[in-house]
Structure 1
Amino acid sequence: MADHEERRSLLGNQDEVSFRGRRPPGKPGTKLPAICDPNHLLHRVLVLVFMCFLGFGSYFCYDNPAALQTQFIKDLDLNTAKFMQLYAWYSWPNVVLCFFGGFLLDRVFGIRLGTIIFSFFVCVGQVIFALGALLNHFWLCELGRFVFGVGGESLAVAQNTYAVNWFKGKELNLVFGLQLSMARLGSTVNMNIMGWVYSKVADLVGSPGYTALGASLMIASVTCLFSLICALVLGYLDRRAEKILHKEEGKTGEVIKLTDVKDFPLPLWLIFIICVGYYVAIFPFIGLGQVFFIEKFNFSPAEARAVNSIVYIISAPASPVLGFMVDKTGRNVIWVMIAVITTLAAHMMLAFTFWNPWIAMSLLGVSYSLLACALWPMVAFVVPEHQLGTAYGFMQSIQNLGLALIAMAAGTILDTKGYLILEVFFCTCICSEYFVCVFLTFSAFDTLNLQKTATSDEE
């Protein structure tokens, strides 16, 4: 899904009012119970629970196709290229919405209504997706994924805005880490449970097929409904806190000016290239990974789903730790190069050896987490603060454009050439990113030195 948790550099510069240090107004001698007091840690922990589950349904359902790859291809009579359209249709709306999601939250809907609307889009999109499978209409599945994508990326922006609004300060990094962990938990649970759900539904309906597939996806939509309920509860709690604390409704801080694109420096364009070239070798591979592990390593479907989910499992605890390490050491571009090299090593192991794939996938999980921690903050090092909204929006947009195009290309390569050539294609993408990293090191030498100096001064 393109890694929305790495927006913290942008979000951290906002001017939202912290809840700390304020007392709720009331009659002298009255005191709200801790669970009802927006100033109290217990109440904010309650808010954090709903905040974390806000994106659970979106992340759970995003990789439903990957968890049920075999079933989709068989039950709906698809080739791999058509199957990968399910990921492409998620990315298409976000080529544009990454520019306007923050604007809609700030200027049109407001954070509370906007979160509810985007959660509703996610829920409705998943239901349409499930109906498409249930009725054996693939075009309806594609429509469902498009609607799902309209809400998915913007919902992540809303989730981050809520986090800043309630926890800006020393707790914010922990909150972002918890949100990331919950997101990865949703992806992991999906990978490991949807195959079991499908088999149980198939037993109930009498045989596997598109009816069982559609019913399984409809069951998965319950997680999106749960996230919609969390959005409603969060809206109520935030509005209540606004009245008690006389605070303003939170803003994303994303000011998008397309005219700024012409002023982007060369290092920023290199960062964009690295972002696209790296992530297209991760998410499309995970989307196609289940059958790969079954065919090459003779894994059972359950084992294939488990090893395919290890990237998400590792990134949940590793991202905060690696982010802290990058913050302390600086030299982000060096860490990006290390992540690129280790990712290339992981793909080469999967392509050219029969070593236990748990090794390569674990390495891929660590590399993916390291790159996310090191790459996204680099944008703030090479552009002025007033261009951050546009830079991050453009970065997300071209990332989704790349994912949409490569998802279709990967499916076609797999149908015509097989998994080996597909892995060679991914290795080529990663190799090209290494040379871009080297070029970035020289083109942004002064900036990187300043970054190192600033890090040393903080220490």
Structure 2
Amino acid sequence: MKKSMDQQSPKFIRYLILLLACIALYGNMFIFDQPALLKEQIMQTYSPKYGESLTSFYFSFMYSFYSIPNIILPLVGGFMSDVFGYRKMSLIFMFFVIAGQGFIYFGSSVENLKYMILGRFMFGLGGESLFVASSIIINKWFVGKELSFANSLNLSLIRSATVLGTYISPRIAEKSGMTTAFGVGFGITLLSGLALVIMNFIDSYTERIQKRNLQKTEGLLDNSIQVMDFGELIKQILDDIATFPKIFWILTLIMTTFYTSVLIFISFSSGIIIDLWLPVDASVEQNQEVAGELMGIPYLCCTFLSPFIGFMVDKVGQRIKFLAIGCALVFLGLLLMLLFYPIYCMIVLGLSYALFASTIWTSIAFVVKQKQLGHSIWCYEFCLKFCFLCNAIIYSIYFSRSIILNFSCSILFNTCLFVFNYCYLFIY
């Protein structure tokens, strides 16, 4: 590919694609943290039926079952996108997102927690895979100097969905019930599915015109279907992984330790905030609303700061220094949770998250070949979701007020590992 899509297409089309890609992920991000935001109501609803300890154990499945398919899918998902086309695969992934939230909505309406767990599993089949497919198309259209800005703007817009979810989901649940809150999430995923269909149509139509005009295949991916048996597929996967440069694996280690330290902590921070800082005599709904607002602060910071940071990364470079600053802020933020009211911790973690996420994801395109881009992102996701699964189970099984300090220490340990990886990258 001699020319990137951003060199051939009007800026309006490129940013329309970016906007539609963001809307396509909006429902995904809106519904991801709904179980954590509504945990207290879930416990109140199902504890009489299953018992408090078993309900808490089932609740952990809503995150661990989400991660399970994302340990398996990355092994073949990148090549599935390469062989069958990212557009076809993105529609399949979106189907699982919508169907998964539909099962959660149905399970809540009939008060069956097992249906909700099944819905989270189905959501996991499509959720992260849809994010990767979106990353591929953004990299396709913005290869060049605007790549960091485009990815940061995408991160900003989709994280606004998380902010919106943390703000309105507890309020909808308080006024109209938990089932209505899940139903609103289901409606938003339907709108995201419509945006994905429109985006794929524009992308496909534009690509056909360019192929016809230039008489050659354009884009990162060949959308024709190739016949490949399973053994050949596995061999090609292993051969491709073996060619990834050393710096790619270092970045993968850094990314994995960062996200398991920060995002897992934020996802479970609602319960920590309620236990550590909110009044015991307040109602469950009131504490849930306040905790949800505080929980959304990091995503709110990311929403507003990511485009500016992405623009700076494009202009200034110095990606390693941005990663270093993000690393230092993780230490500060997690310590602040134990010492002061959570708002300070969440603001610092939000700044750290914005710095790190705006830098790490765009680094992939600079360290691997373009034809390996899809599978390299899937390798990222494989390592990340494996650690997410382990950490989510540990958090859910051992979470209690008496050992919050132990959890903070374990998170700090992960962050120390992140610093070690960063130092190794700097030396490398």
1:259 aligns with 2:224: no
Q: 1:178 to 1:435 in 2, by over 3 A?
A: closer
* Equivalent residue, structure 2, for 1:92: 68
* Equivalent residue, structure 2, for 1:132: 107
Given that 1:94 and 1:400 are in contact with CA atoms closer than 8 Å, whether structure 2 keeps it comes out as yes
Output the amino acid matched with 2:166.
Answer: M
* Equivalent residue, structure 2, for 1:31: none
* Equivalent residue, structure 1, for 2:188: 223
* Equivalent residue, structure 1, for 2:416: 431
1:9-408 aligned at under 5 Å gives the runs 18=5, 46-77=16-47, 79=53, 80-108=56-84, 110-166=85-141, 172-202=147-177, 213-242=178-207, 244-246=209-211, 250-252=219-221, 257-262=237-242, 267-298=247-278, 300-351=287-338, 353=339, 355-377=340-362, 389-408=374-393
Q: 2-side partners of 1:420 and 1:311: how far apart? A: 21
1:46 Cα shift?
A: 4.8
1:263 Cα shift?
A: 5.7
- Structure possessing the higher radius of gyration over alpha carbons: 1
Given that 1:56 and 1:227 are in contact with CA atoms closer than 8 Å, whether structure 2 keeps it comes out as yes
1:412 Cα shift?
A: 1.6
Output the amino acid matched with 2:353.
Answer: Y
SS at 1:55 equivalent: helix
Q: 2-side partners of 1:58 and 1:199: how far apart? A: 22
Structure-2-length-normalised TM-score: 0.82
Given that 1:51 and 1:234 are in contact with CA atoms closer than 8 Å, whether structure 2 keeps it comes out as yes
1:311 Cα shift?
A: 0.8
1:262 Cα shift?
A: 4.6
Q: 1-side partners of 2:373 and 2:14: how far apart? A: 29
Output the amino acid matched with 1:284.
Answer: I
Is there any run of 5+ residues in structure 2 with no aligned partner, and where? Answer: 224-232, 280-286
SS at 1:280 equivalent: helix
Output the amino acid matched with 2:306.
Answer: S
The range that moved more, 307-316 or 380-389, is 380-389
Q: 1:164 to 1:382 in 2, by over 3 A?
A: closer
Deviations 1:259-285 (A, max 9, x none): 344565655444333222221112221
Output the amino acid matched with 2:200.
Answer: G
1:222 Cα shift?
A: 0.4
Q: 1:253 to 1:312 in 2, by over 3 A?
A: farther
Given that 1:311 and 1:362 are in contact with CA atoms closer than 8 Å, whether structure 2 keeps it comes out as yes
Given that 2:34 and 2:169 are in contact with CA atoms closer than 8 Å, whether structure 1 keeps it comes out as yes
Output the amino acid matched with 2:270.
Answer: Q
1:250 Cα shift?
A: 4.7
Identity, in percent, stands at 27
Output the amino acid matched with 1:347.
Answer: L
Structure-1-length-normalised TM-score: 0.77
Given that 1:163 and 1:175 are in contact with CA atoms closer than 8 Å, whether structure 2 keeps it comes out as yes
Q: How many residues align?
A: 400
Q: 2-side partners of 1:430 and 1:322: how far apart? A: 22
Q: Give me the CA root mean square deviation.
A: 3.1
Q: 1:49 to 1:370 in 2, by over 3 A?
A: closer
Output the amino acid matched with 1:404.
Answer: L
1:163 Cα shift?
A: 3.2
Q: 1-side partners of 2:18 and 2:365: how far apart? A: 27
Q: 1:370 to 1:86 in 2, by over 3 A?
A: same
Q: 2:394 aligns with which of 409, 420, 434?
A: 409
Given that 1:94 and 1:149 are in contact with CA atoms closer than 8 Å, whether structure 2 keeps it comes out as yes
Given that 2:90 and 2:133 are in contact with CA atoms closer than 8 Å, whether structure 1 keeps it comes out as yes
* Equivalent residue, structure 2, for 1:208: none
1:385 Cα shift?
A: 6.2
Q: 1:307 to 1:325 in 2, by over 3 A?
A: same
Q: 2-side partners of 1:356 and 1:253: how far apart? A: 52
